[in-house]
Structure formats: structure tokens, C-alpha cells
Structure 1
């Protein structure tokens, strides 16, 4: 094995559109070392090459259908036909199953977001794709404007998810979702909205087991109060 690539391994994936099997790279867990965590759960890794965000999306080299583990296997009626028309019929075969550059990773997220939008994926899953793409821009320290754009799109999806409750059968708890909406609101400059959502998390402190997230909401709320006072 190439010593430089020993941090990657191959994972076999079956495409849900063309049914071909392909290999996609993932980062071996023993190489994933985070040295910093932001308040919206974004992690910074000791090596920018060994960033699991680069390999989060699987892209079928045969037809271009792209997805992530949080997307469902369900396809609404006609959605497979639409993906075939809009993506597969225009696909120039490209292999994303090797070591990825930042540009390849960004392109893989945009493909997955397009596929997820066509198949009317749950808001919670779309929010996750937008948020990880924003994190990718942040951890690689490129294009803060694009990071902000995708944070706003993630925020919109998470608010929709909370409103329709499509997070309820996922690993996302209500407390975590409310906190994340608050944190993303703060990051895109919606201070009033941020305070409202942090307050909702704090109100849940007696009924939730996620005491750490309640404390994070209290910390953010206090920071905002201090900022307001000093300004």
C-alpha cells in the first residue's frame, strides 16, 4: 500500500440508481485526530489531508448518483426517472473513488445536494449536507463567503426539519437540533433568532439527558448578552 494513503480504506457501495457496485474511500478511524471543535460541532483535524469531510459523500462513477449515509434509501415516485434525466444522462464518467482534492470533495457535496433535492430527501439530511460543506470551507480555510452561504442553507433546512418533525426517527435529538439552529443563527448574524432557540434549549434542562448541550446553549446565551452589553 502507498504509505501516504494508508489512512484511507475502500468501502463497497451499491448504487441505488444504476445498481452497479463501486468503491469509495473513507478515512480509517485511528487516523482521525481532531485538535479543535467549534460550537456548531465542526472539528479541525491535525492534517488537512486526513479530513473525513473530504470523503463523506459517495459518488457512483457509472451514473453520477451521489449520496451520504444520512440519506434514506426511499425514492418517491418518479424521482429515479428525474435523477436519470437530470444527472445520469448528462454524466461524463468520473472516478471519485481515489484520494480527493478539496475541489473534488466540494463537487461531490454539490452533486449529493442536487440528488437529495430531486428525491425530496428529509430536511434533516439536506441540512447535514449543507452544514458539512460549510465546515469543509471552514476547515480548509477557503472562501468564507461560501461557508456563510451554506451555513444559511443548512439553517433553513434545520428550521424546516424542526417544524415538520422529520428528525424524530434519526439520531438527532430535539435538544441538539434546537441548539444547532441557535448556533447557526448566531453565526449568520440572526441574533434575536439565536437567543430564542438557545432559550428553548435551556427551558428543556430538566427533561433532557444532554446536559452538555444545555450548558453550551447557556454559554452561547451568556456570550451574546456580554457582547450586547459591551457594544
Structure 2
């Protein structure tokens, strides 16, 4: 019997504490062919693990990722109950997801993350991935809408340094602000942030990011 790329995982909802199932992709089926300039991975096959990063509780609708904290500030649970759970029609996201399913899951995750006041770096990552999903379906207006949200959140993250302690660092954040700005047609902002990456090169051992920033900076200066 051929092994499925997918497997079920049991999780506990951070909000309602009930158990629910979600789908994950086996690591040996994840084959990245290349990455675009804003790090969107292009996979060799139809198995896209990005579709499964957001966990959606079938009971209450609360949606989250592995990056969400377990802490709920006072009043947050009540806000989630009022704005999400009371409108939620119980259904499961445990099966194989289409791109439409993935978009719904990510948008729920972004809404929940905003209510929960998650780190700006977490919200930025969600918004950026939503823009990738819209790019996959050639929806340019929606792609740019969520790029704008991602850029705002990355700028806030850089300002308050809430990327510290995550898989991101200052150079990655600066590069992404520059690259998202470039994709949005904001040449001035793009050059500004690519320049910041180049200025800080001695503080980080990130030759790939530095090379990408220099290439984009040079290209934009020549346009």
C-alpha cells in the first residue's frame, strides 16, 4: 500500500480546550524546487505543506499556528467568543485542503491572531502567506492587499523587535519589508530597506540575504 503524503494529528484548541484533528504533511514528501524573492516556496509536486500551517478548531472556530502563544490577555477569550465562536458553524478542516480551504484557514488565523494580540512578526507571516495563496490563483488585487498588511506588521515588528526569539532575525525582517515594497511598486521604500540590509551586513552571517538585497537594490537603482 502506497504511503499517503498526509497524516492526521490530534490537537487541543488553545481557546476552548477541546480536542480536534488536523492534517499535516510528512516531511519526506516536501520537496522545494525553488524559492521566489519573497521566500515563497515552489514545490516539485502537488503536495503543499503551506496549506496546513493553520489549525482550525472544528468546535469553536479558533484558528492558530505553532507560533501562537498560549497566553490570552484579559477580555480576549470573550472577544473571540463574541466575534468568532457565536458565528461558527461546526465543521472540520481535517481532510486534504484545497487552496480555497487554505485561504479560509489563514484568514481565520489572521483574524484570531489580531483578536489575541499575537506578535507582529506572527501576524506578518500569516498575511504574507495569504498573499502567496492569492498569487497562486492570480488574484493580483487581493495579493497586494495582504502584502500591504504584511508590510505594516513587519515594520511594527522591526520597531518593537518582537521578532527576537523567533526563527526570524533583524536582517530577514528588513529584507522582507524591502522586497514587499518592491513588489507593491513602492520604489523609495524598497531602496530604503534594502540599503538598511546592506548597512548591517557586518552584524550578521547571512550571505544569501545580503546577496539578494544587493541584487534588488542595484536593479531598482538602475530602473
Q: TM class, shorter-chain normalised? A: over 0.9
Q: Secondary structure at the match of 1:40?
A: coil
| Aligned counterpart in structure 2 of residue 168 of structure 1, from 154, 164, 172 | 164
- Alignment partner, residue 62 of structure 2: 65
**Residue 47 (str. 1) matches residue 40 (str. 2):** no
Aligned residues: 223
SS at the partner of 1:12? strand
Are 1:77 and 2:74 matched, yes or no? yes
Secondary structure at the aligned position of 1:16 is classed as coil
Give the Å deviation of 1:36.
2.3
TM-score, normalised relative to structure 1:
0.92
Shift of 1:135: 1.2
Question: Partners of 1:59 and 1:92 in 2: how far apart?
Answer: 12
Which SS does the other structure have where 1:30 is aligned?
helix
Tell me how far apart the structure 2 counterparts of residues 58 and 90 of structure 1 sit (CA, whole Å). Answer: 18
SS of the residue aligned with 2:42? strand
- Structure 2 Cα separation of the partners of residues 93 and 207 of structure 1: 49
1:21-36 to structure 2, matched below 5 A, reads 21-36=19-34
Give the Cα separation in 1 of the matches to 2:170 and 2:98. Answer: 35
Gaps of 5+ in 2: none
> Aligned to 2:202, what secondary structure does the other structure show?
coil
Q: Who is 1:156 aligned against?
A: 152
SS at 1:22's partner residue? Answer: strand
Structure 1 residue 165: Cα displacement: 1.4
Aligned counterpart, 2:213: 217
Q: 3-state SS of the aligned residue for 1:11? A: strand
Q: Relative to structure 1, is the Cα distance of residues 158 and 42 closer, same or farther in structure 2, using a 3 angstrom cutoff?
A: same
